[in-house]
Structure formats: C-alpha cells, structure tokens
Amino acid sequence: MKADNFFKAALLGLALSVTALAPSARADNLRVVRTGTESALNVPMNRAVVVESDTPFAELSIANPAIADISSLSDRTIYVLGKTPGTTTLTILDANGRLITNVDVRVAADVSEFKERLRQILPGENIEVRTANDGIVLSGTVSSSQKLDRALDLAERYAPERVSNLMSVAGVQQVMLKVRFAEMQRSVAKTLRSSLSLSGDLLGGDLGLTSETGTWIDGSNALGSGVEVADGTEGAAVFGFNAGGLEVGILLEALESKGVVRTLAEPNLTALSGQEAKFLAGGEYPVPVAQDEGTISVEFKPFGVELNFIPRVVDGDLINLELKAAVSSIDSSNGVDVDQIRIDAFRRRETSTTVEMRDGESFAIAGLLQDDFTDLNGQVPWLGDIPVLGALFRSAEYSRQQSELVIIVTPHLVTPTRGQVLALPTDRVKPPSERDLFLYGRTAAEGNRPVKGAAGEVAKQDFSGSYGYVMD
C-alpha cells in the first residue's frame, strides 16, 4: 500500500515537471529567421522594376499586396509593380523553404518627369525634389518669389494638395517705399462794383425822387455818412454832387486777391516682401453718428498723411507694388450743422493702384490738373445796357482757381544696418539748461554734440541749413 502511494506521488511530480518545462522548450524552438541579407528597393508608383537574384528561388511573398504586386519571370528574376505609396516587405525562399533574403520595397510617387520639367522651366535654380509618403517635398534656394510660385504650381500638377514647401528666396526681400505728394494751388479774384444814389425834390418841390442801386440799398447808407460796403471789399470810394435840388452819389468798390498754396508730404515706409505696411501721420476726427435707438455715438475718422502698401519682390530687383496713399485735412468752410453740432468736412486726395518697377525707379502714379473759372456780371435791367453811363449800374467779378497734384512713388530694396550709423533729426538738438534758457536766451543747449558716426556728421551742419527731413 505504501509502495502504491509512493508510485502515484512520483507520477504526479513527473507530470508537474514536464508541464513546467514545456513552454520554455517551445520558446527555445521558436526563432526569427534572419538568413540572407536585407536590402531596400525603390519602385516608382505605377511603374515596374525587374529584380534579379544570384540564388535560385522557389517561393515569393509580399507583405502588403496593396502597395506592390510581384510575379516571377524565372527562378532568378522577379517583376515588381508599384501600386500605392508606402513600404512593404518582399520575402524570397529557396526550394528547401529556407529564407534567402528580405527586401524592403518602397513605393513613392514618380518625380523623374517632374524633375525634368523643373529643369526645363527653371534652369539654374537650386531646387531639390524629394518624396515623402504620397507627396512631394521641395527644398533649396530660388532667386525670386515669382520662381518659387512657379515651382509650387508645377508640383501641384503632379501631387495635388500634397506639396511641402521648404524653399527659401535668396536676395533682399525688404522694400522701402518713398511717396511724394506735391500740390500747388493758385487763386485769383477780381471784383468791381458801382452803385448810384439819387435823392431830391424836383419841379419846385412838387416831385420827390429817391433811388439807390447796388450796395446803397444795403444797410442805412446815406450821403455824408458812413457807407456799408459788400463783404470782402478791399477798397471803396464815394463821390457826391448836387444838381439843383437833386443829390447824386456814386460808390465804387474794388477787390483783387491772389493766393498760392503749396502742399508737400513725403512719407517713407519699409515692409517685408508680401507683407502689408500701414502709415498714418495726422489724427482722428470725432464724427457723431445717430443710432436706431435715438442715441448718438461717436466714430473717429482718420485724417493726415496715410500710406498702405504691399510690396512683392518679383524677380531680382523687380518690385510689384499694391498701394493706397492719401492726404486729407479738415475743411471747416464746408461743414454742416446737425442738431447744434458742427461737423466739419474733409478735403482728401487719394490714389489706389498697382504698379511694377525696378529698384530706385520712380513712377508718377497719379496727377490732377484742375482749372475752375467763374465770371459773374450783375446790373440794373435796361440801365446797365446804356453805353458808358451803364457802368454805374453794373457790377462785374470773376475768380479763377487752379490746382495741380502729382503723386510719385520710388521703391528701394533695403537691408538693415547697425543703429550707430543712423541719424535722427533730434541728434543734434538738445534741450537747453535753465542758464542757457533764462540767462542767454538759447533755445538749444550748446556743446556735448556727437562727434562720431552719422550723428556726428549731422551735428557738424549749419543750424540754418537743411537737416534731417526738414526742407527749406
């Protein structure tokens, strides 16, 4: 009985030991086959590549048939067709089932034709073309942004919406735009008025006469007293005499005015190619605006010198400019009154256009020549048509206004420089001390002027001459 129990216990221990050793034994028998050499094979999409093997094979296997398709032409030749972009594995076995080699098959878009077209269209440009999954990656340096756009447009033909741009543009890509507004206004006005006054008794006092023309009618004018003349009159003369019981008065009024107005503005602004830049030197004028609820809100309207532009360096020193420039000022003479609120008008000259020119060239983008002439003749009916004496019953005036406006733009390709070489209009002028101001009457301090760099050159100039951006 004891022997029987001992035998059962021995069998149970043997079974447990076999169970524990079974997994490790299977693990030792399982290994990854790495016989042969691994290599990579690049296959263009929708094209085939023929591969030859030095060792005869008996079996071929492709991991993902959706990426590449294979077929054997002989026991040493394999036909590989690229179908979709991606990477898969080609396994080659011999007649005994042993692994000959594993081949990484990489299928990518065919860029050989694209490279050839790129060399034909943009010769001499340093553009590198690579494939990434199912797209195209462009890198390198091009000479202008226009050629960069051409390369991207061509790449879109071969890989729509799958183009990555890593290219950069060589050369200067910052543009300084100089705009000059020049306007001249000339005005001439002349006026000659004549008035006649008659008063007295005729026929022994049986007939009374009182008559006035022109300015005599306005106000309380009378011979021997002050005369109220028309607004704007620069000179007036009164002549009077008696003819029996009749008093005769003649009033002559004259006006001649001339004027010239010169307006000049030169805003300068620098921007990166393709980026918008804005400039405003002036202010904002409050304009009341009625709301639907019956309330009044205030909106601010800018005025002064305005400049908005977008430069684009097209090719080398060829610059495309999309700009809007304006010069405006408040015109109180043409304002309106709304609910006891005075709203002034604006006088504005502006232009908006797109031009193309090279570095340093100038273009007159806008010009206006305006000539306004007004002629007015007023007279007493019939009496003003009498020869010679009719001049006493007439008033003549005329005015002429001429204005000429020119807007010129000049772009420059610029690069940054060190701050020490830049001069400011304020570099040579310093506030005075109390002693300079009160004791010597100086409006600017003397001495301690810069002696080096551009600021020193400005400081050497005569104060009475031009400096900075100030023009005589």
pLDDT tens column, 352-400: 999 999 998 998 888 888 889 999 888 878 877 788 777 777 888 889 9
Burial pattern 399-417, b for ≥16 Cβ within 10 A else e, equals beeebebebbbbbbbeeee
Q: Which pLDDT score, from 0 to 100, does residue 356 have?
A: 92
Q: Which two tokens stand for residue 417?
A: 């420089």
Average pLDDT over residues 168-180: 84
CATH architecture of 39-108: Sandwich (2.60)
Q: What percent of the chain has pLDDT over 90?
A: 8
Residue 250 has pLDDT above 60, yes or no: yes
Which residues, in sequence order, are bridge partners of residue 172?
A: none
CA distance 43 to 84: 10
pLDDT tens column, 420-451: 667 777 776 778 888 888 888 888 776 555 55
Q: Which two tokens stand for residue 195?
A: 């008035």
Q: Which pLDDT score, from 0 to 100, does residue 463 have?
A: 46
Burial pattern 427-443, b for ≥16 Cβ within 10 A else e, equals bbbeebeeebeeeeeee
Considering the entire predicted model, what is its pTM? 0.58
CA distance 162 to 158: 9
Q: Are 377 and 396 in contact (CB under 8 A)?
A: yes
CA distance 100 to 172: 58
Q: Which pLDDT score, from 0 to 100, does residue 80 have?
A: 92
Residue 198 has pLDDT above 90, yes or no: no
Q: Which pLDDT score, from 0 to 100, does residue 271 have?
A: 92
pLDDT tens column, 88-139: 999 988 888 888 888 889 888 778 888 888 888 888 888 888 887 778 899 8
Q: What is the mean pLDDT of the chain?
A: 79
Domains of the chain, by residue range, sit at: 39-108, 111-169, 419-464
Q: What is the largest CA-CA distance in the chain?
A: 187
Cβ atoms within 10 Å of 319's Cβ, excluding its own: 23
CA-nearest of 74, 92, 70 to 83 is 70
DSSP per residue, 365-391? EEEEEEEEEEEEEEE-TTGGGSTTGGG
Class of CATH domain 111-169: alpha beta
